[in-house]
Amino acid sequence: MSSSPAAVADDSPDLVCHLDSIHGMVDALTSVRWKRHQDVVLEISEHGIVVIVEESGCLQAKVYLKRELFVFYEYTAEGRPRFGMSLDLFVDGLNIFSALGPATVVEIRYPGPDMELVLKTVDFPNGSLYAAIRTRIPDTISWDYNFEPTGNVPISFTVKSAVLKETIEDLEWPGSSIQIVLQPDPPSVTLRGDGHGELQIDFPYYASTDLLIAFQCDRRIAYWYKYKFLRATTSNIPASVLKDNRGSKLTIGRGGMLKIQHLVSVGRPGAPHPHGDNFGQPSRIAYIEFYVKPEEDDTPINDS
């Protein structure tokens, strides 16, 4: 990343957008930052920006940044350009702009003069701050998450995000796996840690709807997942999500593919926005999705 007072070239960029909630964007991107020195692939389109992170062909995360999250969004490219970059530099670069104050608006432009992703202050009273982050041609995503529901009734449950994070941390065991079991009668979810003996955590649906917000299951199903991959899905949930007591949805698809969804608010409280009202700003939500493959030697139960 470099900074310079030089002006940004205006040679027909594919994307120019303005962001007025840098902190919210940092929260969303940090959600998929489970280790140092991660690379991401950005895909841009007329609908918004998708940020994709992958680990060892077993864990994939996506951050969906709809165009409604931005106060201005202009897209002129054909197709859906993709480019790779450092997630660390992207987050650190945005953090530099967030230090300028909550009212700061940042322009995101791609490509810059040398195919960089360009960040620049908009109408800043004390001059201009400019940063350019080097991009690269992305490697092909090495696996297709190919998420398909199992049967006619999707197997899913929604639990408070803070409870999910705490539960996974409580089942920690180096190099271990966690089994997730859903059964319809009585309706419940069990997370069982390998290496802990009899240690398991149960969520009976009717006994505690404050924790297990929603539940949908018509047959017993169970799969094992690597602990380190499950922990990555919750390790950096933003404090704002935990404070707001939001829920995270977990869905088990065909073959045991696990999808975990979080919602992160991207908007300045009280700030006017052309795509949503100021009460809750329903359109200004970033969708975070994780896809986790089950253990290869697992024997599925009732996966049909």
pLDDT in tens, 27-53: 999 999 988 889 999 999 999 999 999
Quick one: which of 181, 245, 191 has its CA closest to 213? 245
Give the separation between CA 166 and CA 24, rounded to whole angstroms: 23
- Residue range 139-197, pLDDT digits in tens: 765 566 677 877 778 899 999 999 999 999 999 887 889 999 999 998 999 999 987 66
Give the per-residue pLDDT at 253. Answer: 93
Same fold, 2-133 and 155-292: no
Give the per-residue pLDDT at 11. Answer: 67
How confident is the model over 228-236, as a mean pLDDT? 93
Task: Name the percent of the chain lying above pLDDT 90.
Answer: 52
How confident is the model over 3-11, as a mean pLDDT? 47
pLDDT band at 278 (very low <50, low <70, confident <90, very high): very low
CATH number 3.10.150.10 is the correct assignment for the domain at 2-133: yes
Based on the number of CB atoms within 10 Å of its own CB, is 295 exposed (0-12), middle (13-18) or buried (19 or more)? middle
Give the separation between CA 244 and CA 152, rounded to whole angstroms: 33
How confident is the model over 207-224, as a mean pLDDT? 85
Whether residue 7 has pLDDT greater than 80: no
CA distances 30 to 79, 92, 126, Å, are 28, 10, 29
Give the per-residue pLDDT at 197. Answer: 67
pTM reported for the whole predicted model: 0.86
pLDDT band at 242 (very low <50, low <70, confident <90, very high): confident
Give the separation between CA 47 and CA 147, rounded to whole angstroms: 21
Whether residue 303 has pLDDT greater than 70: no
Regarding beta strands 258-265 and 177-184, do their DSSP bridges make them parallel or antiparallel, or are they unpaired?
A: unpaired
DSSP assignments along 75-121, one per residue: E--SS--EEEEEHHHHHHHHHHHHTT-TT--EEEEES-TTS-EEEEE
Give the per-residue pLDDT at 153. Answer: 80
Give the per-residue pLDDT at 252. Answer: 95
Fold of the CATH domain 155-292: Proliferating Cell Nuclear Antigen (3.70.10)
Higher-pLDDT residue of 76, 146: 76
Whether residue 71 has pLDDT greater than 90: yes
Phi/psi for 168 (5° steps) reads: -65, -40
Give the separation between CA 273 and CA 233, rounded to whole angstroms: 30
Regarding beta strands 2-3 and 200-204, do their DSSP bridges make them parallel or antiparallel, or are they unpaired?
A: unpaired
Higher-pLDDT residue of 151, 94: 94
Domains in the chain: boundaries: 2-133, 155-292
Alpha helices in 143-268 (DSSP H): 161-170, 227-232, 239-243
